[in-house]
Structure 1
Amino acid sequence: MIYQGKELTTGILKTPVSSSLYVSKVQIEGDGQADLTVHGGPDKAICVYPEEHYAFWEKLLGKKLERGTFGENLTLRGVREHEIGIGDILAIGEVIVQVSQPRQPCHKLAKRLDWPEAVLRVQESGLTGYYFRVLKEGYIAPESEISRIASDEGRVTVAFANKLRYEDKFNREGIQRLLAVAALSGSWRQTFEKRLAELNV
């Protein structure tokens, strides 16, 4: 991607496909991440963005946005941040996935949209998307059906986790609830364990 006259190495440039793709434990076939220190890995194998959010951003930005604009691997309907919890398990085609953490937008999104405020606005809106880890590999296609197999008993939604991260930072009980979810990604667990320790000082 060329940004302000300079070449930027990034994996955020996603475009819709019509074929079936194989999903492994670390990525979807044909995908890649540029900065593996903060992107990719088993806890962040698949980035998801709810299709319903596009209308909000299109109205705000005054232009049509192609699905995949937010760098997601899957654009899904009916599974927004307040409708799904950390640890929930879903079947998509042959693939079994588990919600591991909210998505944290990075500066590459701001550059993709050519909108410096993008990261902050996405965080403030709560329309972040989230990540899946892959429990069972297999093929998915655009017409694959989605079904929820199980919900984590803690029922900590992605929306609530986002609120703890960016707004309600001193909610000790909320942090404890989040940390009690075994499926929480390692990076988010480390962040909130540190925050809880600071609150207990």
Structure 2
Amino acid sequence: MKIVATNIGERREIDWKGKIVTTGIFKFPVDEPIFLDVEDVKGDAICNREKHGGIDQAVYAFSEKHYEYFKELYPDLEWELGMFGENLTLSDCEESELHVGDTFKVGETIVEVTKPRQPCMKLGVRFNNMKIVKQFWNTDKSGVYFKVLQTGYVKKGDVFELIKTDKTKPTIADVYNEKRLKKNM
């Protein structure tokens, strides 16, 4: 896995069907390195601390390869990296190969895989279509949250070097599928 883009978002207020929604999901690539801190990415807006950020969700990463699937569903959107609200767009991030607790050295940091993303209505706001939330749930393309064990800077081109893995632990895809099944019950 390699970082294809580092993405940061500002706090925005959006009029969504007559209701003001505050969000940080509108993230865009930046050219300078970004700092991965213990509970968030420095300079990145988090508007709902109950659902985003924190120790187990400090950094969100999404695979560039997953973009192709969603581009087919939304061919008329103006596509750019960061569309899914990810801080890191990775060259190849396979949820079925990442185990909870996998630890990586990347840039100056050490990060640990914690959990998949569960889509919320703000993804629908970003896509200007609430259908994306269900479509996202119905894939195995959740992306992954990381805990930051060693803070520091990362940049485009940095490679994830595996430090530790335990293949007896569930994969991110396993955890996501279990959550999806519970949600659909």
TM-score between the two structures when normalised by the length of structure 1: 0.79
Count, aligned residues? 169
Per the alignment, residue 19 of structure 1 pairs with 32
Alpha-carbon shift at residue 37 of structure 1 (Å) = 1.3
Q: Distance in 2 between matches of 1:61 and 1:23?
A: 31
Residue segments in structure 1 that go unaligned for 5+ positions in a row = 170-201
Residue aligned with 2:122, SS: helix
Question: Alignment partner of 1:87: what SS?
Answer: coil
Aligned equivalents of 1:31, 1:24: Cα separation in 2: 11
Letter in 2 for 1:15: F
Structure 1 position 168, deviation (Å) = 7.3
Match of 2:133 in 1: 119
Mean alpha-carbon deviation: is it higher for 53-62 or for 149-158? 149-158
Amino acid corresponding to residue 119 of structure 1 in structure 2: V
Cα deviation 1:92-125 (Å, max 9, x = unaligned): 1111000111101110001110111111111111
Where do 1:43-192 residues align within 5 Å?
A: 43-63=56-76, 64-167=78-181
Higher mean displacement: 28-37 or 147-156: 147-156
Aligned to 2:47: 34
Residue type at the aligned position of 2:106? I
In structure 2, the partner of 1:174 is none
Q: CA deviation at 1:3?
A: 2.7
Aligned amino acid, residue 102 of structure 1:
P
**131-140 or 73-82: bigger deviation:** 73-82
Secondary structure of 1:59 counterpart: helix
Q: Note the alpha carbon deviations across 1:140-171, whole angstroms, 9 max, x for none.
A: 111212211111242411111111111378xx
- Note the C-alpha offset of 1:90: 1.0
Deviations 1:170-189 (A, max 9, x none): xxxxxxxxxxxxxxxxxxxx
Percent of matched pairs sharing the same residue: 35
Q: Counterpart of 2:22 in 1: which secondary structure?
A: coil
Q: How far did residue 137 of structure 1 move?
A: 0.5
Aligned to 2:7: none
Unaligned runs of 5+ in 2: 1-13
* Deviation (angstroms), 1:5: 5.2
Q: What TM-score, normalized to structure 2?
A: 0.85
1 or 2, which has the higher helix percentage?
Answer: 1
Q: CA RMSD in A?
A: 1.6
Match of 1:195 in 2: none
